[in-house]
Amino acid sequence: MRILLVEDEDRIASFVTKGLGAEGHSVERASTAREALSLARDEDYDLVLLDLILPDSNGREVLRRLRSTQQATPVLVLSALGDVENKVDLLDSGANDYLTKPFAFAELAARVRALARQDQPRSDVIEVSGITLDTRARTVIRGDKQMSLTSREFALLEYLMRHVGQVLGRQQLLQAVWGPNYHTSSNVVDVYIRYLRRKLDIPGAHSPIETVRGAGYRVRRD
């Protein structure tokens, strides 16, 4: 699994990274909330390990922001704050599990395995307009070319493909892909449509994503 470890303490980060690496996982580390959110926005992780007390913010805020952008990635909270109320509150806020520091590596490894088992949705392949998008393998193929998309590009394309033939406005796309709490100009949608076209378009062929003037975007039916 590809794991994002959000932890500011070097000693713990190194112990977790080594241990999970030895179990065959690939671990990337963020030491601040800001770095964590930026990595989570641009990359696809199978699991997030989240420390609660970070230098620039707290893990609860990171969790809230991860969830507001509709990220279904499992989150395992690692924290020294072990009281029951806190635990319930975090689980209610969208954490999948909670581990109190200090913990034994074996326990962390067992929880990671349990979350990996939960995170196996049915294979869901959408084929529209010559594009094959596999939501489980997280792959996008057009013709014989496999594209490498960021998680936001992937989510936008998936939403457009699930609504094939429908004209989707910028506000609707913003809500669906960036989440209701994401306050930004809807121009960001245009920017990401450009990124997608740059990756998906084939010279001389119609773009699978059509601009509907004054209304928004739609993915053409084949």
By C-beta, is 6 or 131 nearer to Ca ion? Answer: 6
By C-beta, is 6 or 112 nearer to Ca ion? Answer: 6
**12 scored as a contact of Ca ion (CB under 5 A):** no
Quote the CA–CA distance of 14 and 7 in Å, as a whole number.
Answer: 10
**51 scored as a contact of Ca ion (CB under 5 A):** yes
**158 scored as a contact of Ca ion (CB under 5 A):** no
By C-beta, is 108 or 189 nearer to Ca ion? Answer: 108
Q: Residue holding tokens 């990274």? A: 17
Least distance between Ca ion and beta carbon 13 (Å): 10
Least distance between Ca ion and beta carbon 80 (Å): 8
Among the residue ranges 5-13, 22-30, 84-92, 109-117, the one whose residues contact Ca ion (CB under 5 A): 5-13
Quote the CA–CA distance of 95 and 98 in Å, as a whole number.
Answer: 7
By C-beta, is 8 or 134 nearer to Ca ion? Answer: 8
Among the residue ranges 4-12, 103-111, 161-169, 186-194, the one whose residues contact Ca ion (CB under 5 A): 4-12
Among the residue ranges 20-28, 43-51, 121-129, 152-160, the one whose residues contact Ca ion (CB under 5 A): 43-51
**8 scored as a contact of Ca ion (CB under 5 A):** yes
List 53, 81, 109, 126, residue binding Ca ion (CB under 5 A): 53
Least distance between Ca ion and beta carbon 66 (Å): 17
User: In this chain, which residue has its C-beta nearest to Ca ion?
Assistant: 53
**CB neighbours of residue 172 within 10 Å:** 17
By C-beta, is 62 or 131 nearer to Ca ion? Answer: 62
Least distance between Ca ion and beta carbon 59 (Å): 8
Q: What is the DSSP string of the chain?
A: -EEEEE---HHHHHHHHHHHHHTT-EEEEESSHHHHHHHHHHS--SEEEEESB-SSSBHHHHHHHHHHTT----EEEEES---HHHHHHHHHTT-SEEEESS--HHHHHHHHHHHHHH--PPP-EEEETTEEEETTTTEEEETTEEE---HHHHHHHHHHHHTTT--B-HHHHIIIII-TT--S-THHHHHHHHHHHHHH--TTS--SEEEETTTEEEEPP-
Q: What residues line the site for Ca ion (CB under 5 A)?
A: 8, 51, 53
